[in-house]
Amino acid sequence: MSSKPTFFTPGPSQLYPTVENHIKEALEQNIPSISHRSPQYIEIHKNLVQNLQKVFSIPDSFTFFVGGSATQFMERAIQNCVEETSFHFVNGSFSRRFQEISRDLGKNSLQIKVPLGETFDFDNIEIPEEVELITFTSCETSTGVEFPTEEIYKIADRYPDKLIAVDAVSSAPYYDLDFSKIDIMVFSVQKGFGMPAGLGVAVVSERAVEKSKQILAKGVSVGSYNSFPLILGKAREFQTLETPNVLGVYLLNKVLEDMLEYGIQKIRQETLEKANLIYSYFENHPKFSPYIEDKSARSKTVVVIKYEKPKEVLENLKKYNFIIGGGYGEEKDTQFRIANFPSNSIAKVQELMDKFKEIYG
Ligand SMILES: *Cc1c(COP(=O)(O)O)cnc(C)c1O
């Protein structure tokens, strides 16, 4: 048994295996003290953008904004791309947050809402004419429901004049989006990238930037802090307006390099294999069951399991240095969650499942 715990929590989570060394190197190179206007910083930021383009196959026309969290960029997306009406697919706490942000900014925030743990009736979706931006949550981290990319693309094709925003926080880099179909992707780094929290990224299309300029030109506020028109110039110079999380930018660039070297397709393939290991144990167990009944709606990156005494499971596993996640939201007392992020290898996941077998049969 190793002396260090392994985190299977859905964020913050297990650090990517190379992060510890990258932090040491960053300190040796005084990265946290360098100026965010220095050529050294600009070079790191530029490499980060290039590596993001590679990992997600993002066209050159997209702009990359770097900030403090995904939530910040969810708000920026609404503020900059919605003059009056937004539309949200709501099936849990995180997708609801997107809708609430819009509501709290005084927008008309329309939604389709389904019960927790369920997916949407994709054959019967109607989005009103006046909607400017549609938001999707790729993995609803509170319930473990995945939003299929094909369904996002179908909606994008049906409503070509509407902007599409995707919260990919707990599914990136597994979730592979077609950027010809979407306008905004937001993510942060403490989940699938296995990094310390405190860095968020928004990838934004020209169309979305244009929309924010149009709203501003009408005399409607698009906010001040990190509004798209305000930070566009800086982003294109590989900088930020405020002082960024320089260490985070450095680390994300390094982690992306490592992931590209390991092979991003291999990471995605292994995510599927690990998800199979986890789900197949719980599907076949008399006491546990996957929270989501519809197999096709189950997230590969956040697995939610129904069990009457989740705290006991967390405590039992902790004794063996496995830290798994508790439930989240309304049904948290009858659930636990297991994150399936790239930081934990197939062998580690196998160890976790062996431990479950040993304790629960
Ligand atoms: C964790 C999470 C967020 C919030 O990310 P922050 O970095 O804390 O802003 C948003 N959406 C989803 C789906 C998440 O899992």
| Residue 298 DSSP one-character state | B
Reduce the DSSP state of residue 204 to 3 states and report it. strand
> How many angstroms separate the alpha carbon of residue 86 from the centre of ligand 1?
20
Q: How buried is residue 3: exposed, middle or buried, by Cβ count under 10 Å (0-12/13-18/19+)? A: exposed
Q: Is 95 in the pocket of ligand 1 (CB under 6 A)?
A: no
pLDDT of residue 50: 98
Q: Is 248 in the pocket of ligand 1 (CB under 6 A)?
A: no
> How many angstroms separate the alpha carbon of residue 90 from the centre of ligand 1?
15
Task: For residue 9, give both structure tokens.
Answer: 């929590």
Q: What is the mean pLDDT of residues 99-119?
A: 96
The percentage of residues in the chain with a pLDDT greater than 90, rounded to a whole number, is 98
Q: Do 71 and 45 form a contact (C-beta atoms < 8 A)?
A: no
Instruction: Report the alpha-carbon distance of residue 175 to residue 243 in Å, rounded.
Output: 30
Tell me the pairing of strands 302-306 and 335-339: antiparallel
Reduce the DSSP state of residue 336 to 3 states and report it. strand
Which pLDDT tens digit goes with each residue over 24-79?
A: 999 999 999 999 999 999 999 999 999 999 999 999 999 999 999 999 999 999 99
pLDDT of residue 246: 98
Instruction: Report the alpha-carbon distance of residue 255 to residue 57 in Å, rounded.
Output: 17
Taking Cα atoms as reference points, which of 151, 211, 140, 202 lies closest to residue 181?
Answer: 151
Our CA dihedral for 134, 153, 57, 225, rounded to 10 degrees, sits at: 0
Instruction: Report the alpha-carbon distance of residue 36 to residue 19 in Å, rounded.
Output: 21
pLDDT of residue 352: 98
Q: Is the peptide bond before 286 cis (omega within 30 degrees of 0)?
A: no
Q: Is 188 in the pocket of ligand 1 (CB under 6 A)?
A: yes
> How many angstroms separate the alpha carbon of residue 358 from the centre of ligand 1?
33
Residue nearest to atom 5 of ligand 1 (CA): 70
Mean pLDDT (the chain) is 97
Which pLDDT tens digit goes with each residue over 156-200?
A: 999 999 999 999 999 999 999 999 999 999 999 999 999 999 999
Q: Do 31 and 246 form a contact (C-beta atoms < 8 A)?
A: yes
Reduce the DSSP state of residue 247 to 3 states and report it. helix
User: Relative to the CA of 10, which ligand 1 atom is closest?
Assistant: 15
Phi and psi (nearest 5°) for 113? -120, 135
Q: Is the peptide bond before 12 cis (omega within 30 degrees of 0)?
A: yes
Instruction: Report the alpha-carbon distance of residue 292 to residue 298 in Å, rounded.
Output: 6
Contacts of 273 (CB under 8 A, 6+ apart): 346
| Residue 14 DSSP one-character state | P
Which pLDDT tens digit goes with each residue over 223-269?
A: 999 999 999 999 999 999 999 999 999 999 999 999 999 999 999 99
Instruction: Report the alpha-carbon distance of residue 171 to residue 145 in Å, rounded.
Output: 11
Q: Do 338 and 322 form a contact (C-beta atoms < 8 A)?
A: no
Which of 76, 94, 145 for mutating ligand 1's site (highest number of atoms within 8 Å of CB)? Answer: 94
Can you list the positions of beta strands (E) in the chain? 6-8, 63-67, 85-90, 108-113, 133-137, 139-140, 145-146, 163-167, 184-188, 200-204, 289-290, 302-306, 322-326, 335-339
Taking Cα atoms as reference points, which of 308, 322, 304 lies closest to residue 359?
Answer: 322
> How many angstroms separate the alpha carbon of residue 197 from the centre of ligand 1?
10
Instruction: Report the alpha-carbon distance of residue 348 to residue 269 in Å, rounded.
Output: 16
pLDDT of residue 68: 97
pLDDT of residue 3: 77
Kindly report the number of other CB atoms within 10 A of residue 236's CB atom.
11
Residue nearest to atom 12 of ligand 1 (CA): 169
pLDDT of residue 2: 53
Which pLDDT tens digit goes with each residue over 79-94?
A: 999 999 999 999 999 9
